[in-house]
Amino acid sequence: MIDHTPASTASRQAAVLFILVTVLLDMLSFGIIIPVLPKLVEEFLSGDTAQAAVLYGLMGTAWAFMQFFCSPIQGALSDRFGRRPVILLSNLGLGLDYIVMALAPTVAWLVVGRVISGMASSSFSTAGAYIADVTPQEQRAAAFGKIGMVFGLGFIFGPALGGWLGAIDPRLPFWGAAALSLMNACYGFFVLPESLPPDKRMPFKWARANPVGSLVLLRSHHELFGLATVAFFGYLAHAVLPSVSVLYMGYRYGWGPASVGLMMAGVGVAAMIVQGGLIRPITARFGERRTVVIGLLCGAIGFSVYGIAPEGWIFCLGIPVMAFWGLAGPANQSLMTRHISSSEQGQLQGAIASINGVTGLIGPTLFTQTFAFFIRSDSSLGTQHSTLSTSLDLPGAPFILASLMLLSAAMIAWRTTKAGGS
């Protein structure tokens, strides 16, 4: 176990600050491209929104497959060699990836870029292992909440900046993302300390590093497996946001990159307030178990608002409700770390990332295909199906589906943790 004596408090706080800055820079680079990547795909396909949604979903699937395959390897490597080198190499890889995408002359180049991104996107999961290394169990929910807060900060400035840059040139955000990722790698090289001491490291074994072996860890305890199932539904529901949000807002509300960027900035502000300032008192008041359920129910309500909102301003009313979904992830993750030793935290985070990867294999295609199906024109279905086409005109269907997933997760979380009463 890590030393939690008062003498080590200052060093722990400094280490957490370093990792939060690293995650912030990484999230900024990620957020910058969100408003423009689907539109760039749409431009390559001559403005066909339905076809762009399908192809963009397949690109998301390619990204998720690489994350599913590589994240357990990266988690096991971080347990063997430490968190620092994995984080630094990840940021370097992302910087090169964004350069490839900035230079893309065809959709095929964008696909290659997403594959590279899936391979290199380990810094988020490794950051979780880093936080678990340097934080006592009772403080982990709040610490994971701080990661969520800097995610929110990234979404405040990243998409807004990406929308502004994208209005100038759709490729400019990719150059900005590349610069931020490479700057992040340089920052980490000079100031990011290692969190896992040599005596806590585990030998690298392919049996632990492969995706199947990593997921076996989650079956080592009944409650851990149940919490992993909750994480699965949460990640799957979350896939609707990067998969169809930009296309949905453009189709239903006529929003361009600048409007989408400002809306995402609002999402970031709300998430920052909840995860940065409210998760500690709410967790202290209700416990981690109830906090998970409250967060999931708020997410379900928020997605319902997104899906049924006929006007953009009504859509925005769902943002503060949706923000409280951010309570669920940190509390759930904190509960999961309680069942794992310090030498297995990297493997756990790799397993969690694999869950995310599995949902990423399913989610983008599931939600984009659902979106494409419910916006088909009469001509795309044939004149003989015009009545069916009209009845199925429900562009918010993907968000309704995500809402049902979170309701299921809330019920599983409540039943799984009933005995513990956390």
Residue pLDDT, tens place only, 185-232: 888 788 777 877 887 787 777 766 676 766 677 776 778 888 989 999
> Domain for residue 203, yes or no?
no
> Domain for residue 196, yes or no?
no
Q: Which token pair is 404? A: 């049902």
Q: Flag whether pLDDT at 372 surpasses 90.
A: no
C-alpha distances in Å from residue 71, one per residue of 134, 209, 346, 387: 21, 8, 10, 46
> Domain for residue 62, yes or no?
yes
> Domain for residue 422, yes or no?
no
> Domain for residue 154, yes or no?
yes
Confidence band for 141, pLDDT divided at 50, 70 and 90? confident
> Domain for residue 292, yes or no?
yes
Q: Flag whether pLDDT at 48 surpasses 90.
A: no
Mean pLDDT of 150-162: 75
The better pLDDT of the pair 130, 227 is held by: 227
The better pLDDT of the pair 291, 150 is held by: 291
Mean pLDDT of 143-168: 77
Closest CA to 289 of 405, 412, 413, 409: 413
Mean pLDDT of 399-420: 88
> Domain for residue 208, yes or no?
no
pLDDT value at residue 264 = 75
Chain segment 67-121, per-residue pLDDT in tens: 777 777 877 788 888 888 888 888 888 888 889 888 988 888 888 888 888 787 7
Rounded Cα distance, 78 and 71, in Å: 10
Q: Which token pair is 289? A: 């178990």
pTM of the model: 0.67
Indicate the average pLDDT of the chain: 79
DSSP three-state, residue 310: coil
Q: Using a pLDDT cut of 90, give the percent of the chain over it.
A: 14
Confidence band for 11, pLDDT divided at 50, 70 and 90? low
The better pLDDT of the pair 22, 284 is held by: 284
Q: Flag whether pLDDT at 404 surpasses 90.
A: yes
Q: Flag whether pLDDT at 314 surpasses 70.
A: yes
Confidence band for 374, pLDDT divided at 50, 70 and 90? confident
Q: Which domain holds residue 15?
A: 9-190+217-416
Show contacts of 282-290: CB within 8 Å, 24+ apart.
282/327, 283/141, 283/142, 283/327, 283/331, 287/421, 287/422, 288/141, 288/331, 288/332, 288/334, 288/335, 288/422, 289/331, 289/335, 289/413, 289/414, 289/417, 289/420, 289/421, 289/422
Confidence band for 342, pLDDT divided at 50, 70 and 90? low
Considering only 111-115, 132-136, 338-342, 373-377, which range has the smallest mean pLDDT?
A: 338-342
Confidence band for 306, pLDDT divided at 50, 70 and 90? very high
pLDDT value at residue 304 = 94
Q: Flag whether pLDDT at 301 surpasses 50.
A: yes
> What is the end-to-end Cα distance of the chain in Å, rounded?
22
Q: Flag whether pLDDT at 4 surpasses 60.
A: no
> Domain for residue 280, yes or no?
yes
pLDDT value at residue 1 = 35
When divided into structural domains, the chain yields a total of 1
Residue 419, burial from CB neighbour count under 10 angstroms (0-12, 13-18, 19+): exposed
Confidence band for 155, pLDDT divided at 50, 70 and 90? low
pLDDT value at residue 122 = 57
pLDDT value at residue 419 = 53
Q: What is the CATH number of the domain that holds 177?
A: 1.20.1250.20
Q: Using a pLDDT cut of 70, give the percent of the chain over it.
A: 85
